[in-house]
C-alpha cells in the first residue's frame, strides 16, 4: 500500500489544477446580501449588515455595477476599495502546485483617467503594488498577473488579500481602485520535449486569461524566474501575455508581445541554460505582430551569453509571422538566453505595442541533447521508475485476479 501511494504521488504530482474552482465568487457576480437591487447608483457602500459571498472585507468597500460611466469586463460587477478598503479570501493549498493570480484593475470612471489608481496584492511571504497605466489597451480596465508562489511546506489555507493604496493626499473617493475577476491557476512542474532545451517554449504555461477581457495580460518586470508568472522565463520591462481568441498567435493558444521597449528599458524575456563552453547551438523562434494595428519596423535582439544578433521585421499590423534560426557559440557554462525589443511602437490608437514572440527552440547544432539540470533528470528518473513499477503492479494484480 505504501508503495502504491508513493507511485500515485509521483504520477499525479505534475497535473495542473483548474483555475475555475479555486476561489469562490471570483467575479463578484453573486451580489452582497441586504442590498437594494433597484437603485440607479453604480456604487453601493457595504457595511456591517452586508456579506459578500466568498469574501471578507473591511474599510470602505463598495459594490460596483457597470454602466455608462464605468466599464467592466462583460458589463458585470466588481468592488471598489476606498480608504482603508480591503478584501480577502482563503483557498486550500494542495501542496503540489505553484500558484499564479490574474485579476482586473480599473478606474472608477473616465474622470479618473489622470489619477493614480493602485492596489496592493498580498499572499503569504509576498506583496506587490499594481498601478493602472492605461497605455497598453483600448479598454478602461487592465488585466494583471502576479505570482503567489508555492506553499508546499504549509499545507493549509492560504490567505489572498487585496487592499487599496493611497496615491496622493487629494484623491477623490470616486477615483479609488476598482477590482474584478480574480483567477488563480495551479502551475505544474516544467516539462521538456525532444531536443529542445527550453521549457515552456511556446509560453502555454502562464496566468489564466479572463474570458471577457480582450486586451491580454500585463506582465511586470520580474528578474527571478522562480517568482515569474511565466514558467521558466523572467520578464524584462513590461510584456503583454496574449491569447489566440483576441490576437494573432503564431502557434497554439498563447504568446508574448514585447510592448514597452525603449532605449533604457527593454521589453523582453530571459531564461538560463547550462551549455557546454565552446559548443555551437541553434536558437529558433517565431516573430510576428498581434494583428492589433501595430505598424512599424520591429527589431528583436537575441542574446546568448555575450553574443547578440538582431532580427528585423516590417509590420503592417495584420497578423503576419516569420520563423527565424540563429547560430550561437557558447562562451560559458550557465548562460542567459534572451529575446528583447528596445524600440517603442504604437497602434493606430496610440497604445504601446511591439513584436510577438512564440515557439522558442534552443538545441545543440549537432542535434545532440545537452545535459539538463540535475533536478530535472532526477524528476524524470523517478517518473520513469514510477511508471515501470505501476505497470508491474498492474500485471501482478491482473494475474492475481485471474
Rounded Cα distance between 165 and 117, Å, is 8
**Are residues 258 and 321 part of one domain?**
yes
One-letter-per-residue 3-state SS of the chain: CHHHHHHHHHHHCCCCECCCCCCCCCCCCCCCCCCCCCCCCCEEECCCCCCECCEEEECCEEEEECECCECCHHHCEEEEECCCCEEEEEEECCCCCEEEEEEEEECCCHHHCCCCCEEEEEECCEEEEEECCCCCCCCCCEEEEEEEEECCCCCCEEEEEEEECCCCCCCCHHHCCEEEEEEEEEECCCCCCCCCCCCCCCCCCCCCCCCCCCCCEEECCECCHHHCCCCCCEEECCEEEEECCCCCCCCCCEEEEECCCCCCCCEEEEEEEECCCCCEEEEEEEEECCCCCCEEEEEEEEEECCEEEEEEEEEECCCCEEEEEEEEECCCCEEEEEEEECCCEECCCCCEECCEEEEEEEEECCCCCCCCCHHHHHHHHHHHHHHHHHHHHHHHHHHHHC
Domain end, chosen from 188, 218, 245, is at 188
Q: Please tell me the predicted confidence (pLDDT) of residue 91.
A: 92
* pLDDT for the residue 384: 42
Residue 357 located in a structural domain: yes
Q: Is residue 317 part of a domain?
A: yes
Q: At what angle do helices 2-12 and 374-401 cross, to 10 degrees?
A: 130
**Residues 169 and 42 reside in one and the same domain:** yes
281 lies in some domain: yes
Same domain, 239 and 160: no
For position 345, what pLDDT does the model report? 92
166 and 95, same structural domain? Answer: yes
Contact 351, 137 (CB under 8 A): yes
Report pLDDT for 159.
Answer: 95
Q: Are residues 165 and 57 in the same domain?
A: yes
Q: Do residue 166 and residue 28 come from a single domain?
A: yes
Domain assignment present for residue 328? The answer is: yes
For residue 266, which phi and psi values (nearest 5 degrees)?
-70, 160
Q: Using CA atoms, how far apart are residues 372 and 197, in angstroms rounded to an integer?
A: 7
Domain boundary among 188, 213, 246: 188
Task: Collect all residues with Cβ–Cβ distance below 8 Å to 66 and sequence separation of at least 6.
Answer: 42, 72, 75, 76, 77, 78
Same domain for 141 and 275: no
For the chain, 402 residues long, the average pLDDT of each consecutive 10-residue run is 40 43 92 82 93 97 90 92 96 86 91 78 94 88 94 78 81 78 92 92 96 92 89 95 96 94 83 96 98 95 97 96 97 96 91 96 76 40 42 43 44
Same domain, 272 and 157: no
Q: CATH number of the domain that 108 lies in?
A: 2.60.120.260
Residue 373 near residue 303, CB atoms below 8 Å: no
Total domains, the chain: 2
Same domain, yes or no: 46 and 156: yes
Same-domain status, 112 and 22: yes
Last-in-domain residue among 171, 188, 205:
188
Which tens digits make up the pLDDT trace of 60-100?
999 999 988 888 988 899 999 999 999 999 998 877 889 99
For 264, the domain range is: 234-364
Residue 99 lies in a domain: yes
Contact between 32 and 51 (Cβ < 8 Å): yes
Q: What's the confidence (pLDDT) of residue 395?
A: 44
The answer to whether position 298 is within a domain reads: yes
Is residue 46 located within the same domain as residue 134? yes
Cβ atoms within 10 Å, residue 162: 24
pLDDT of residue 180: 97
Domain membership of residue 150 (yes or no) is yes
349 falls within a domain: yes
| Claim to verify: residue 249 and residue 172 sit in the same structural domain | no
Amino acid at each position: 500500500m505504501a508503495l502504491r501511494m508513493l507511485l500515485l504521488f509521483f504520477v499525479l504530482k505534475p497535473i495542473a489544477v483548474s483555475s475555475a474552482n479555486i476561489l469562490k465568487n471570483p467575479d463578484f457576480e453573486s451580489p452582497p446580501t441586504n442590498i437594494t437591487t433597484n437603485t440607479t447608483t453604480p456604487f453601493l457602500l457595504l457595511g456591517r449588515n452586508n456579506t459578500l459571498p466568498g469574501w471578507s472585507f473591511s474599510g470602505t468597500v463598495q459594490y460596483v455595477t457597470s454602466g455608462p460611466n464605468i466599464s467592466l469586463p462583460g458589463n458585470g460587477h466588481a468592488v471598489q476599495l476606498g480608504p482603508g478598503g480591503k478584501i480577502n479570501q482563503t483557498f486550500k493549498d494542495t501542496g503540489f502546485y505553484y500558484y499564479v493570480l490574474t485579476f482586473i484593475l480599473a478606474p472608477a470612471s473616465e474622470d479618473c483617467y489622470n489619477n493614480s489608481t493602485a492596489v496592493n496584492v498580498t499572499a503569504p511571504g509576498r506583496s506587490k503594488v499594481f498601478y493602472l497605466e492605461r497605455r497598453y489597451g483600448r479598454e478602461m480596465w487592465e488585466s494583471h498577473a502576479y505570482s503567489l508562489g508555492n506553499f508546499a511546506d504549509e499545507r493549509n489555507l492560504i490567505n489572498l488579500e487585496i487592499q487599496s493604496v493611497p496615491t496622493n493626499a487629494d484623491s477623490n473617493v470616486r477615483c479609488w481602485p476598482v477590482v474584478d475577476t480574480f483567477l488563480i491557476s495551479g502551475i505544474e512542474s516544467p516539462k521538456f520535449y525532444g531536443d529542445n532545451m527550453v521549457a515552456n517554449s511556446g509560453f502555454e504555461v502562464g496566468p489564466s486569461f479572463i474570458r471577457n477581457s480582450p486586451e491580454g495580460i500585463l506582465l511586470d518586470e520580474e528578474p527571478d524566474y522562480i517568482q515569474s508568472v511565466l514558467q521558466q522565463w523572467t520578464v524584462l520591462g513590461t510584456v503583454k501575455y496574449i491569447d489566440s481568441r483576441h490576437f494573432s498567435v503564431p502557434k497554439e493558444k498563447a504568446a508574448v508581445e514585447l510592448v514597452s521597449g525603449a532605449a533604457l528599458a527593454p521589453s523582453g524575456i530571459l531564461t538560463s541554460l547550462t551549455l557546454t563552453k565552446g559548443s555551437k547551438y541553434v536558437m529558433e523562434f517565431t516573430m510576428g505582430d498581434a494583428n492589433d494595428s501595430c505598424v512599424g519596423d520591429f527589431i528583436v535582439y537575441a542574446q546568448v551569453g555575450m553574443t547578440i544578433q538582431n532580427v528585423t521585421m516590417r509590420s503592417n499590423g495584420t497578423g503576419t509571422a516569420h520563423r527565424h534560426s540563429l547560430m550561437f557559440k557558447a562562451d560559458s557554462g550557465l548562460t542567459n538566453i534572451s529575446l528583447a525589443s528596445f524600440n517603442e511602437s504604437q497602434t493606430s490608437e496610440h497604445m504601446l505595442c511591439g513584436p510577438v514572440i512564440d515557439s522558442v527552440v534552443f538545441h545543440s547544432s549537432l542535434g545532440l541533447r545537452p545535459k539538463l539540470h540535475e533536478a530535472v533528470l532526477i524528476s524524470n528518473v523517478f517518473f520513469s521508475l514510477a511508471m515501470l513499477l505501476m505497470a508491474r503492479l498492474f500485471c501482478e494484480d491482473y494475474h492475481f485476479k485471474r
